[in-house]
Structure 1
Amino acid sequence: MLKKSKNIINMNKITLKYLKILITQIILLLVLVSCDIDTNPDDISFNTQNSLSVIIISSDISIGSNKIKFAILNIEGNPIINQETKFKGFISPLEDPKSKNPISFKWEPWPNAGGVYQSIIDLNSSGYWKITVLYEEDKNLTGEAIIQVNETPQTPGVGKIPPKIHTKTISKELSLDSITSDIKPKSELYKSDFYNVLGTKPIVINFSTPSFCKSGSCSPIIENIKKLSEEFQENIEFIHVEIYDNLKEIKSSGNINLGKISQPVKIWRLPSEPWTFLIDSSGKIVSKHEGYVEYENLRKIVSNLK
Structure 2
Amino acid sequence: MNPSQMFSRRQFFALSATMGAGAVLAACGGGSGSGGTGSTDVLKGLDGSLQIAKRFSPESIVPGKVRLPLSLADKSGVLGTDGTVTLPDELTAKVIDSETGDVILDSVTAQRYDENMSVPYWPFVFNIKKEGIYVLTLDIAPDTEVTFQVLKPSDVPMPKVGDPLPPFDTPTVDNARGVNPICTRPEGTCPFHSMTLTEALKSGKPVVYLIGTPAYCKTGTCAPGLDALIEISKILENKAVFVHADVYKDKTATEASPAVQAYKLSYEPLLYITDAQGVQIDRLDAIFDARELREVLAAAGIS
For residue 72 of structure 1, what is the aligned residue in structure 2? 72
Structure (1 or 2) with the larger CA radius of gyration? 1
Distance in 2 (CA, whole Å) between partners of 1:113 and 1:172 is 36
Gaps of 5+ in 2: 30-48, 80-84
Q: Secondary structure at the match of 1:179?
A: coil
For residue 150 of structure 2, what is the aligned residue in structure 1? 149
Gaps of 5+ in 1: 1-15, 34-38, 251-255
Distance in 2 (CA, whole Å) between partners of 1:188 and 1:127 is 41
Residue deviations 1:119-162 (CA, integer Å, cap 9, x gap): 11211221211111121xxx7x6311111111225432222211
Q: What residue identity is the alignment partner of 2:51? A: S
Structure having the higher helix fraction is 1
Aligned 8 A contact 1:180 1:209 in 2: yes
Residue deviations 1:167-224 (CA, integer Å, cap 9, x gap): 0011277799621111123553111011122132222111111111287211000101
Q: What residue identity is the alignment partner of 1:197? A: A
For residue 275 of structure 1, what is the aligned residue in structure 2? 270
Greater RCO, 1 or 2 (C-alpha within 8 Å, sep 6+)? 2
Aligned 8 A contact 2:113 2:291 in 1: no
Aligned 8 A contact 1:199 1:280 in 2: no
Aligned 8 A contact 2:17 2:287 in 1: no
Q: Percent sequence identity over matched residues?
A: 17
Task: Give the structure-1-normalised TM-score.
Answer: 0.74
Tell me whether 1:56 sits opposite 2:54 in the alignment.
Answer: yes
For residue 118 of structure 2, what is the aligned residue in structure 1? 113
Write the mapping of 1:83-98 to structure 2, written as runs, cut at 5 A: 83-85=88-90, 87-98=91-102
Query: What RMSD over aligned residues (CA atoms) do the two structures have, in Å?
Result: 3.4
Distance in 1 (CA, whole Å) between partners of 2:70 and 2:260 is 24
For residue 289 of structure 2, what is the aligned residue in structure 1? 294
Q: Secondary structure at the match of 1:219?
A: helix
Name the stretch that deviates more: 154-163 or 73-82. 73-82
For residue 220 of structure 1, what is the aligned residue in structure 2? 224
Q: Secondary structure at the match of 2:230?
A: helix
State the aligned residue count.
266
Task: Give the structure-2-normalised TM-score.
Answer: 0.74
For residue 11 of structure 1, what is the aligned residue in structure 2? none
Task: Mark the CA change 1:163 to 1:81 in structure 2 (over 3 Å): closer, same or farther.
Answer: farther
Shift of 1:114: 1.6
Tell me whether 1:165 sits opposite 2:162 in the alignment.
Answer: no
Distance in 2 (CA, whole Å) between partners of 1:122 and 1:302 is 19
For residue 197 of structure 1, what is the aligned residue in structure 2? 200
Q: What residue identity is the alignment partner of 2:133? A: Y
Aligned 8 A contact 1:206 1:275 in 2: yes
Name the stretch that deviates more: 154-163 or 45-54. 45-54
Equivalent in 276, 293, 305 of residue 302 of structure 2: 305
Aligned 8 A contact 2:183 2:189 in 1: no
Q: What residue identity is the alignment partner of 2:279? A: K
For residue 242 of structure 1, what is the aligned residue in structure 2? 246
Aligned 8 A contact 1:48 1:75 in 2: no
Distance in 1 (CA, whole Å) between partners of 2:75 and 2:169 is 47
Residue deviations 1:50-74 (CA, integer Å, cap 9, x gap): 2543332222211112121112334
Distance in 2 (CA, whole Å) between partners of 1:269 and 1:81 is 40
Distance in 2 (CA, whole Å) between partners of 1:143 and 1:159 is 33
For residue 134 of structure 2, what is the aligned residue in structure 1? 129
Name the stretch that deviates more: 111-120 or 201-210. 111-120
Q: What residue identity is the alignment partner of 2:152? A: E
For residue 25 of structure 2, what is the aligned residue in structure 1? 46
Aligned 8 A contact 2:211 2:245 in 1: yes
Task: Mark the CA change 1:215 to 1:289 in structure 2 (over 3 Å): closer, same or farther.
Answer: farther
Q: What residue identity is the alignment partner of 2:128? A: L
Q: Secondary structure at the match of 1:115?
A: coil
Q: Secondary structure at the match of 2:139?
A: strand
